[in-house]
Structures are given as structure tokens and as C-alpha cells.
Amino acid sequence: MSSLLLLLLPVATSGAVILIARRAGPGHRGLGDAVRLVLELAGISTLFLVANLALGVAIVLATRLLSSVFVSIYVLNDLSLVALSCLQGAVFFCWRRPPATGNVGGD
């Protein structure tokens, strides 16, 4: 039941936001464009997570091999690594996007 609730909450809030946005009228990005951008951001964040985990495993194994210190691989099993990878992905995603065509508060 709790898994179903965790799935239904985002579905319900997303549905409410879609209804509100449709009533607001044009002037916003299409839902298809938004889904594409979110999937692109999720993919980039996933690549950063995989890279961070691979580097972490290499560092842990190298530390075990080159010193007498034992470092557990489970140190990488932390939700903060996922959050930081998502932040890395978001920054990279925003950095590589072309600038907006509108001039907001500029010259």
C-alpha cells in the first residue's frame, strides 16, 4: 500500500499542475518538450552518478591495494551521492543549453 501511495502522490500533483497550466493558456512550453528536457536531465544525472560510483570504486580498491587501510565499498552506498550527482547533472544541463532568446533585464 505504501508503494502505491508513493506512486500516486506525484501522479496526483502532476495531474493538478497540468490542469492549472492548461487553464493558464498558451505561453508555456509544451508538455512533450518538458518531458524531453526532464528525461535529458535524468540521463545526464545518471551518467554523473555512474561516473562518480566508478571513480569511487576505483579509489576504494586502490586504497585497499596500496595501503594497509581497509575502506568498505559500502561507503559509496549513500543517498547524498545520488543528490550530488543530480546537482552535477543539473548544472551541466543548464551550462550547455543555449542562452534564452529573450532579453531578461539586460541591455
pLDDT at 85: 96
* DSSP class per residue in 28-49: S--HHHHHHHHHHHHHHHHHHH
What are the grid coordinates assigned to 69, written together? 587501510
Identify the H or E element spanning 2: helix 2-24
Q: Burial level of 23, CB count in 10 A (0-12/13-18/19+)?
A: exposed
Residue-range domain boundaries for the chain: 29-96
Q: Look-up: residue for cell 534564452? A: 100
pLDDT at 107: 47
Identify the H or E element spanning 63: helix 31-66
70-102 confidence digits (pLDDT tens):
989 999 999 999 999 999 999 999 998 887 665
pTM: 0.73
